[in-house]
Every structure is written in C-alpha cells, then in structure tokens.
Structure 1
C-alpha cells in the first residue's frame, strides 16, 4: 500500500500546496544541477549521525525529505532484509534520481514515493522516522512534526538533523551577507523555500514545537562538520547564486540582480579566495543539531 493510498480521500485529491509546487518548479532544477555539492557536502553530517541512530535490524523506517536517496540507502543496509525503508519527498526530480541510483540495486527493501509530509505520512506504520535537513522547510512545523509522530508506532523513535545558528554556518551566511551589500533582502511577498534553513536553529523553540507535536524524550546533540561549497571558486559562486539565502536574495532581486551580477560575482570570488581548498574542493565550517525523540507508548 502506497502513501497516497493511505491518505484520506480528501487529502489524496487535494492539489499540491504552493510550497510543494515552488520546490518542484523552481528549486528542484537548481538542486539537481548542484547535486555534487549538496549530496557530497552534506555527507559528513550523515556520516557523523548514522552511528548514533537507534535503528535496528528488522525495523521499518521512513526517511522524510529523502532527496536524492543517499540516506535512505544507508538506512536500508542498516535494517537488513528483514526491515524496510520508505524514502519520501515532495520533489519528483529528486525521487527520479533516487530510484535510478546504482546503489538502489543492492537495497531491495527500499522504495521511494512522492508525498507532502505536512499533510499525511500514514498512521503507526514505522519503528523509526528520520529526516536530514528537511523539517526546517515545513511551512507549519508543528503540523509536519505531528505527521511524523503519527507515522510512528507507539514508542517509535525519530531523529532529524537541522542547521544550528547562522553564526555557526558561514558556508551559507557569509555569501548572503556579501550579496546583500548589493541587493535588498527579499520582501514579505517573496517566493521562498519555506521558513528557511535556520527555522529550527533555536533549541527552546524547536523543543516546544516537538512537544506540541506529541514527542517525548527530546534530546539535542551538536554536530560539527565541514561542508563542501564547490569544486572551485567559480563553482562555489554559481552555487551560492542559485541556492540558499544568497540565491534567494539574488533570485528575488530580478533585473537589479542581473544588472549587478558582475559586481556580485567579483565580491563572492574574493570571499572564496580565502577558503582553503582540499580534497578536491572548497570546504567551510558548519554546525547542526541532531534531535532525537520518541512517540508516546
């Protein structure tokens, strides 16, 4: 039975939300273009977190916002042939890549489906629910977290990774600050990816959201890792002007951004000149929370 088949008739027939449409129509092509940065760059957070997850052989696991499928594949190997993994995402372009990854051949217990995690993930089907840098983009965080909690069996476990404070993540904020020397910040009517990458950075607020969603035993653990921002300076500049706070500022500026692009590119190039290249690319500091919790028994 698929996620869509488990939805209520009203939910299953609802049109996509504006944010889901924006992800598919505007953001997904950019994320696919820079997959080499996003997937390779985020892998160090996954590598740090995976050994800490309470995932057991035989578990049924849901990976929310699975993206290109790398974490879902890793989890599928953890649960073994007696377990199962569903990778769920709202972007069809991401899922198409995930379904055709060569590694997928070695994970017959894994499947991928499209869904809006804020609306419905099913009821009491999973032992573990996981999300890497996905929950931050819930337009209604409590509703999205409620959906994840409902998907868990009684006493089931969850973990999600979110970015910590802006000042601890110069890989995103330094470029934004440079771009905003030339362009105004996006206005209140701007099309965005949702609340944004730092919407769950505050421990107190995020804990309150998770408690409101019905989770217990909530714990925060700080993760420090370098992230890749590009193969070289040109790649890093192009990436920042496409994705993240700098990219959002540039996109929303429209014609003004195009008119000042040469100045912005030069300033960003100067920024990345200061980043030491190693391991075939440019790497910068980043910091995230690993947040774990349980559904009530």
Structure 2
C-alpha cells in the first residue's frame, strides 16, 4: 500500500483515542513524554539501525522517537511515523520542523488495517502495539512492511506488579469507587496486553517473525513535579484515570477523599526532583526472516 492510500479506519477504539484520550495526553505531555523517553533512551543505543535506512515508527505519538530515528538514519535515509491520532501527529510535525528534521513524514493510519510496501529496513514501536485490537494483524503488517532480513523492535510494558506508576493509584481508588464496567468505552486491550513473553512470542511467530528476543528495561519515571500534580495526573490518565472517569458523579462527590487517599499513598515517592515511581518494560526484537508475508487488512 502506498502512503497516499493509507487511512486510519475509525473504530470505537480509535474514536476513543481521538475524542477522549488525545486531549488528556496532550495536556499531560510534559509528564508522559519524559517518562516514556526514559525507556526509549535505554533502547536507542542498541537499535540495529544505520545511516541510509528506511524506518517505520508505529504508534509514534508525538513523534519524539521518529525524530530520533530520522537523525540516526541521516539525510540519505527516511522515516515514516504512523499514528491513529492526528492531534499527536500535529505536535510531531511542528517539533520536526522546529528541529530542522526533513527526512521524516507523518501519516494518520492504523497498521492493523493498512499494509505498507515491503521497503523498510527497520520497524519500531514504543508502547503502541499493546493497544492493537488484533495484534496478529498489526504485527503481520509490520513484518510485511520490512524487507527480507529487516528488523523490528517494540517496547511494551511488563507486569502490573512491576509498574506501580500505572497500577498503585488504581488500587487506591478502588477502595472507594466501583471497578470499570466491562462494556465501558476503552482505548483497546490496554497497556498490559503484552506482558507475557510466551504469549507475545506466539503472536510474533504466527505473524512470521524469527529471532525473537526479550530484554528487560527498568526506569524510575516522573509522575508529577510535586504531590498535587502527581495526584492530578493519576486522576486524568491511565488505569486510575479510567476508574475515576467511569465513576462519574460518585467520583466527583468523593473528590476530596480520593485526593487525600492518593496523597497519602504517593507521598512515599516524593524526591527532590519530583514524585518518582518504578516502571518496567520489555524491549522485544524480531526479524523478518525471508520473503515478505501476505499482508493483513
């Protein structure tokens, strides 16, 4: 598929990202981008990408990783950043222009339904694939976009217990609020859909990859410059934010109680630089071993 043909087919998940989450993520970019960058910063030095390569960045968000990839491949290479949220891509386009990066383009598209021509040397995704509604389709099309021998690296969150920055506040709120209904609107499978190496390995093998490897990445992430900001962040984003949002009027009535409980729990993580909490991810690498697979979509 050519760039001109690619689209982001509107699904309930994509609509939820654009209508509900993108505005919240943009409002909290100063926290989220810094935390996510800590994981990609540990990954980038070992990425198998060279000057002159063509790279695809799937679920590129604000485009910070796409910009880094574009710098790595240099003027003789090129990078295409994909995301289903144009609100994120607009930020990436502005940042790339300000940085003087000219070998990078952005496209609103969903790789699960849009196969791209097998012309890329490298495919990357940081915390994007775990939101795939159909991971086999998404991973297959990522492989289809690679030349024979091309490499893919994705970063996904590890177990909930290893990511208290995403889970602890939810546990606190569930002392006071009901769990999220199964039929609630959602952004997709969610941040913990690819925590199990055995399950992810099966998905990758079904998608036709070889040379599959997992490497653990640990980092402390900033969840707020102070306790007040950390609480506001947790109520807006992630699993705790979902519980708070779906509780509606009850959450509003209990707001002061919830804030006090969150502050009491999060105060142990206050450092001179802000509120810092543990996080952990997998860097997953795999290879397109031979001829391009049949695309999905």
TM-score in terms of structure 1 length? 0.94
1:142-168 deviations in Å (ceiling 9; x for gaps) = 111111111111111000000000111
Q: Which residue of the partner structure matches residue 226 of structure 1?
A: 220
Does the CA-based 8 Å contact 1:63-1:88 persist in structure 2? yes
Q: Which residue of the partner structure matches residue 127 of structure 1?
A: 121
Q: Which residue of the partner structure matches residue 296 of structure 1?
A: 289
Per-residue deviation, 1:105 = 3.7
1:249-284 deviations in Å (ceiling 9; x for gaps) = 1111122221222111111111221113233x2211
Q: Which residue of the partner structure matches residue 283 of structure 1?
A: 276
Q: How does 1:53-72 map to 2 (within 5 A)?
A: 53-72=47-66
Does the CA-based 8 Å contact 2:173-2:240 persist in structure 1? yes
Runs of 4+ in 1 over 4 A off after TM superposition: none
- The CA distance in 1 between the partners of 2:44 and 2:17, in whole Å, is 27
Q: Does 2:19 match 1:25? A: yes
Q: Does 2:48 match 1:85? A: no
Q: Which residue of the partner structure matches residue 3 of structure 1?
A: 3
Q: Which residue of the partner structure matches residue 204 of structure 2?
A: 210
1:35-63 deviations in Å (ceiling 9; x for gaps) = 00110111111110001110111100000
Alpha-carbon distance change, 235 to 94 in structure 1, aligned in 2, over 3 angstroms: same
Per-residue deviation, 1:123 = 2.3
Q: Which residue of the partner structure matches residue 100 of structure 1?
A: 94
- The CA distance in 2 between the partners of 1:151 and 1:143, in whole Å, is 12
- The CA distance in 2 between the partners of 1:250 and 1:256, in whole Å, is 9
- The CA distance in 2 between the partners of 1:294 and 1:102, in whole Å, is 29
Q: Which residue of the partner structure matches residue 270 of structure 1?
A: 264
- The CA distance in 1 between the partners of 2:67 and 2:35, in whole Å, is 17
Q: Does 2:28 match 1:34? A: yes
Tell me which of 125, 149, 152 is aligned to 2:146.
Answer: 152
Please give the secondary structure, in 2, of the residue aligned with 1:289: strand
Does the CA-based 8 Å contact 2:2-2:117 persist in structure 1? no
Per-residue deviation, 1:2 = 5.4
Please give the secondary structure, in 2, of the residue aligned with 1:221: strand
Q: How does 1:135-150 map to 2 (within 5 A)?
A: 135-150=129-144
Q: Which runs of 5+ in 2 are unaligned?
A: 291-297
Does the CA-based 8 Å contact 1:55-1:79 persist in structure 2? yes
Per-residue deviation, 1:104 = 4.8
Per-residue deviation, 1:102 = 5.8
Q: Which runs of 5+ in 1 are unaligned?
A: none
Please give the secondary structure, in 2, of the residue aligned with 1:193: coil
Please give the secondary structure, in 2, of the residue aligned with 1:68: coil
Does the CA-based 8 Å contact 2:120-2:145 persist in structure 1? yes
Query: Bigger CA drift: 263-272 or 287-296?
Result: 263-272
Per-residue deviation, 1:15 = 4.6
